[in-house]
A and B are shown apart, each in its own frame.
Chain A
Amino acid sequence: MDYALEVKDLVKRYGRRTVLDRFSLAVPEFSSVGLVGPNGAGKTTFMMTVVGFVQPTSGDINLLGNGPFSAEVHSGRISILPQDSELPLEGKPQELLEQYGILQGLSARDARLSAAELLKAVNLSDRADSQIRTLSHGMRKRVMVAQCFVGFPELVLLDEPLSGLDPLEVSRMRAFIQSRRGRQTIVISSHNLHDIEILCTHVVMIDRGRVTRFEEMERLTEVGDRLVYKLTAVPGDLEVLKDAVPGLTLKWYPNDNSLVCVFSDSGMAPEKINAALLPILLKQTGVLSISQGSSLEAAYLKEPV
């Protein structure tokens, strides 16, 4: 497998405080990876170190197979949405994006087209020629996200790309990022696990500067393994349900009134299991919802810290 980003034993210390502690990670090409973890876990420092904003204390970084970040090698191939970084206030969105494109090596024409296309994608065409200082926080954020995609870089690092956006813009921005999935390698850091679940194919859990888990989203949320039934009350007889589909494992969680059905060993498709279980369940209790796997949030909270 080819990796867009490989990091091995990365350490970053600020005095006595260790922010990244032998951080190792390999991000497959064209994957979308979500970084999750508590505040101060090292997500932002990791991203900043990858693009050379922060100098690592030790460790190896390999970006797109060309070693650590060097503008000469990686300009235009890697981009970042840095956290808490203002755009130049006197600049204008169209002009800034064009400028960034030209610095990345695009021709003036391509940079202009790319800038216009991206501003349209983030719903800012009408403010393309307004000064940044006149834009709202959310609008500025959209320009910041747009600048990451100028020139179609191979690796895009997004630090909290959806924070500060209104719900409608969050939805648009999600769709925009999703449209890039599978065509570019995208690394997203966010505290919003719902966003990560929607946008990412892989999840990296980070705690105290270390990777505690790196998993495919489907495996982590067990989408291909289990069905979760939200019920109105405990089913009368679990044994009857078990007998209906051999090989199933059923477990009742009274705290959230959910019945978890692990079907990976049964060899049956989820729709067949539903067809067999639902008539019996409905006789015993009320069914509120059925979902495949658990949410990322549930999986994350289950993770030992």
Chain B
Amino acid sequence: MWHLTQIWRVAVYELRDAVRSRRAIVVLALYLVAAVGCMYGSISLLGRLEADLAKMLQLPASQKTGVVSTTLWKSKPFQHMVRGAVRDDMVYNDIVGKHPVELIYAWFTLTYAPLLVILVAGNRIADDVRSGAVRYMISRVSRGCWSCGKFAGQALMIGLALAAGTIGAYITARIRLYSAAGSYDLLLPMFNWSFRAWVYSFAYLGMALGVSHLTRSGSKATALGILVMALFALVPACCDFFAEPVGWQSYLPQLAQLVPGGHKSSISRSSLPVFIHASLFLIALGGCYLSAGFWFFRKRDC
């Protein structure tokens, strides 16, 4: 109980400190701008596609972006075409009926949440060790509680950043998109995707903080985090490419499960058991990465 209380106290402190950190504010602002920009850009693109489509079909052009694509998306022949394209009933069932903007936002948040994590949290432990600020904490709480508290505080911080991004993107969609204007039907689905991205980011957060335990330089820790993230992105692709039905290559798909990217599609599924399974796996992966870094830090002179 003492440990949990201490972890919570460190987490609250870390969140308060992180929110005031200039770097975190800049990264958060950039994420917000990127979310709004992505939404604005994709709706503009959608508008141009709709205009082209209307021209091709010799229909009167609509000033209201989203009307054509929503109608198209709901049409049976188009759905049939999508089913053929994805060649997976589960994936098809997950995406059919969803607004294109929701899917664009899902892509954005799942793609950029890991980068947001590395940029916001990558330096937090290394910088505290370098400045000596860690000493004021670990003379009061155990190193383990401190590391876990940092993780929890940063998870809350990332949650806030994702929520801010969602609100920004939603407001943009509401202003720019006809079918979302005047209704709140996109807000909850967008928050749902942010939540999924938040869970997905736990593994990256564990990695970023794990790496941050290894060095005294915040910049080096961030650079290492980005490098590891790039490696993580390569692993599932390589495993897919080299996988064979027999021999040692048959184990490659399992290897991909050891990196967050191996769970990206599972975390996006509508099926609750699949989502929970992927979430637990991602949280466990985050815990493992963090523990690996902490193992080095627990006896380190600082």
Residues of A within 8 A of B (CB): 48, 51-55, 70-72, 75-76, 78-80, 82, 84-88, 90-91, 96, 99-100, 102-104, 147
Contact = CB atoms under 8 A, between A and B. Distances in A.
Interface string B115-148: 0000000000000100111011111111101000
B87 interface: no
30 contacts: A48-B301, A53-B135, A53-B139, A53-B301, A53-B302, A54-B301, A55-B299, A70-B142, A71-B140, A71-B141, A71-B142, A71-B145, A72-B142, A75-B141, A78-B139, A82-B132, A82-B136, A84-B132, A85-B131, A85-B132, A85-B133, A86-B133, A87-B136, A88-B133, A88-B136, A99-B9, A99-B13, A102-B9, A103-B137, A103-B140
B80 interface: no
B2 interface: yes
B296 to A, nearest CB: 13
A85 B139 contact: no
Given A55-B299, A102-B9, A79 B17 contact: no
Contact of A55 (B2, B139, B301): B301
Given A53-B301, A75-B140, A85 B135 contact: yes
B21 interface: yes
Given A72-B2, A80-B135, 10 more contacts: A52-B139, A53-B302, A71-B138, A71-B141, A71-B143, A79-B139, A82-B132, A86-B131, A96-B136, A99-B9
B42 interface: no
B25 to A, nearest CB: 10
B133 A90 contact: no
B20 interface: yes
A82 B135 contact: yes
Interface string B2-45: 10001001100100010011000000000000000000000000
B301 A103 contact: no
Contact of A103 (B10, B17, B132, B302): B10
What's the dominant secondary structure at chain A's contact region? Answer: loop
A79 to B, nearest CB: 6
A295 to B, nearest CB: 33
A55 B9 CA distance: 26
Interface centre among A71, A78, A96 (most CB of B within 10 A): A71
Q: Determine the interface band of chain B, counting residues with CB < 8 A from chain A.
A: 20 to 34
* Max chain A C-beta neighbours (<10 A), residue from B9, B13, B140: B140
B139 A71 contact: yes
A90 B21 CA distance: 7
B90 to A, nearest CB: 46
Most chain-B CB neighbours within 10 Å: which of A82, A90, A103, A104? A103
Contact of B140 (A48, A53, A76, A91): A76
Nearest to A88: B133
Contacts of B2: 72
Given A76-B140, A103-B9, A90 B17 contact: yes
Contacts of B302: 53
A55 B300 CA distance: 7
Contacts of A78: 139
For the complex of A and B, the 3 pairs showing the least CB-CB separation, nearest first, are A85-B132, A90-B20, A103-B140
B6 A103 contact: yes
A53 B9 contact: no
Contacts of B136: 82, 85, 87-88, 96, 100, 147
B301 A91 contact: no
Interface string B268-302: 00000000000000000000000000000001111
B132 A86 contact: yes
A147 B132 CA distance: 14
Nearest to A144: B136
A51 B131 contact: no
A84 B131 CA distance: 8
Interface string B131-171: 11101111111110100000000000000000000000000
A294 to B, nearest CB: 37
Nearest to B137: A103
A76 B302 CA distance: 20
A87 B302 CA distance: 15
Contacts of A84: 132
A86 B135 CA distance: 9
Contacts of B137: 103
A104 B135 contact: no
A78 B166 CA distance: 46
Nearest to A76: B140
Contacts of A71: 138-143, 145
